[in-house]
């Protein structure tokens, strides 16, 4: 699968001049709809000139603006797919060893990490390591198990970690506890969950820093997020795979444990003594 436009932006944003970076940020914040407008509308909304938009599109590797829009249209169609509309690749006759789904999953993991920089990982770890902050985690219908798994680990290595479970009304009640020092990790892949978007917007308004785990087509929550991890999820199946996001969550757990080595070791010893 070719790199998505969001992945191309992640790969190249550090090399972009200020104007092109503003165009990139505007596109991510309104993905993909702003890119489907005219160059003039895109430039006005991003606050840059029309030539800057065209240079931005060229930097992503497109020959012209229509080619860029065609790619966005294809991504939008993929974003809106339901399990019923996806086809599965038949397994070759006599196939032995790893199945196509396994091969695709392994490639998803490699591609996900290829598009996330070391600096971004370090910045996410720094947010999660802030001792005065509270950390909230929540996911969607199929991704909340990752949020719950990550919360179980973070609770061991640092205080004030909360998994938002149950109904949306319960999530909203926790907003009162969120402020500018706090971090919310949200897991949301296609087809994106409206209740999570509403929660993210409210948390963002209260100043919470949002780390979004999503797919290569970007949840609308990206517009409210400090950091976006665009994991590869597509496999030859009716269902998307969250394996790459799960591995990235485990990576953050390991990095944070090292960053809080003394505190986490002390907490683990005290927990063992209490058992």
pLDDT of residue 73 exceeding 60, the answer is yes
What is the average pLDDT score of the chain? Answer: 91
48 and 115 both lie in a single domain: no
Which of 40, 66, 81 represents a domain boundary (last residue)?
81
Query: Rounded to whole angstroms, how far apart are CA atoms 234 and 247?
Result: 15
180 and 226 both lie in a single domain: yes
CATH number at residue 137: 3.40.50.10490
Q: Is residue 197 part of a domain?
A: yes
pLDDT level of residue 191 (50, 70, 90 thresholds): confident
Amino acid 83: pLDDT: 66
Q: How far from each other are the two terminal CA atoms of the chain, in whole angstroms? A: 49
Dihedral angle sign, alpha carbons of residues 106, 107, 113, 114: positive
Share of the chain above pLDDT 90, in %: 73
| CA 128, chain centre distance (Å) | 16
Q: Is residue 95 part of a domain?
A: no
70 and 128 both lie in a single domain: no
Q: Is residue 99 part of a domain?
A: no
Q: Is residue 210 part of a domain?
A: yes
249 and 114 both lie in a single domain: yes
pLDDT level of residue 160 (50, 70, 90 thresholds): very high
Pairing of strands 135-139, 183-187: parallel
Q: Is residue 179 part of a domain?
A: yes
165 and 270 both lie in a single domain: yes
Domain with 44 in it: 5-81
Query: Rounded to whole angstroms, how far apart are CA atoms 158 and 111?
Result: 30
pLDDT of residue 68 exceeding 70, the answer is yes
pLDDT, tens digit, 9 for 90 and up, residues 74-86: 988 887 776 665 5
123 and 41 both lie in a single domain: no
40 and 145 both lie in a single domain: no
Q: Is residue 150 part of a domain?
A: yes
34 and 114 both lie in a single domain: no
Element (H, E) at 65: helix 65-79
Amino acid 126: pLDDT: 97
259 and 141 both lie in a single domain: yes
Amino acid 81: pLDDT: 74
CATH number at residue 67: 1.10.10.10
Structure letter (DSSP) for residue 191: S
27 and 130 both lie in a single domain: no
119 and 27 both lie in a single domain: no
236 and 148 both lie in a single domain: yes
Which of 81, 113, 134 represents a domain boundary (last residue)?
81
Q: How many structural domains comprise the chain?
A: 2
Q: Is residue 86 part of a domain?
A: no
Least confident of 202-216, 220-234, 260-274: 260-274
Q: Whose CA is closest to 26, among 168, 164, 200, 223?
A: 223
- Span 90-99, mean pLDDT? 58
- Cross-strand pairs, 185: 137, 211
Q: Is residue 87 part of a domain?
A: no
Query: Rounded to whole angstroms, how far apart are CA atoms 17 and 262?
Result: 40
């Amino acid at each position: 699968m070719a790199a998505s436009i969001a992945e191309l932006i992640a790969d190249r944003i550090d090399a972009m001049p200020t104007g092109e970076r503003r165009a990139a940020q505007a596109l991510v914040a309104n993905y993909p709809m702003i890119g489907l407008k005219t160059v003039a509308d895109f430039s006005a909304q991003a606050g840059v000139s029309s030539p800057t938009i065209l240079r931005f599109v060229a930097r992503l590797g497109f020959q012209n603006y229509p080619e860029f829009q065609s790619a966005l249209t294809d991504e939008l169609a993929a974003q809106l797919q339901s399990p019923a509309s996806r086809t599965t690749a038949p397994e070759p006759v006599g196939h032995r060893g790893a199945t196509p789904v396994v091969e695709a999953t392994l490639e998803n993991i490699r591609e996900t990490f290829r598009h996330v920089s070391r600096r971004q990982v370090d910045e996410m770890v720094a947010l999660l390591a802030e001792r005065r902050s509270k950390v909230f985690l929540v996911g969607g219908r199929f991704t909340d198990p990752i949020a719950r798994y990550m919360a179980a680990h973070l609770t061991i290595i640092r205080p004030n970690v909360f998994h938002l479970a149950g109904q949306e009304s319960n999530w909203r009640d926790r907003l009162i506890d969120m402020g500018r020092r706090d971090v919310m990790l949200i897991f949301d892949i296609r087809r994106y969950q409206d209740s999570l978007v509403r929660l993210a917007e409210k948390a963002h308004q209260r100043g919470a820093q949002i780390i979004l785990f999503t797919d290569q087509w970007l949840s609308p929550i990206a517009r409210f997020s400090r950091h976006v991890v665009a994991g590869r999820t597509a496999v030859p199946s009716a269902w998307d795979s969250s394996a790459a996001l799960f591995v990235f969550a485990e990576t953050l757990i390991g990095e944070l444990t090292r960053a809080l080595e003394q505190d986490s070791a002390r907490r683990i010893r005290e927990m063992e003594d209490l058992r």
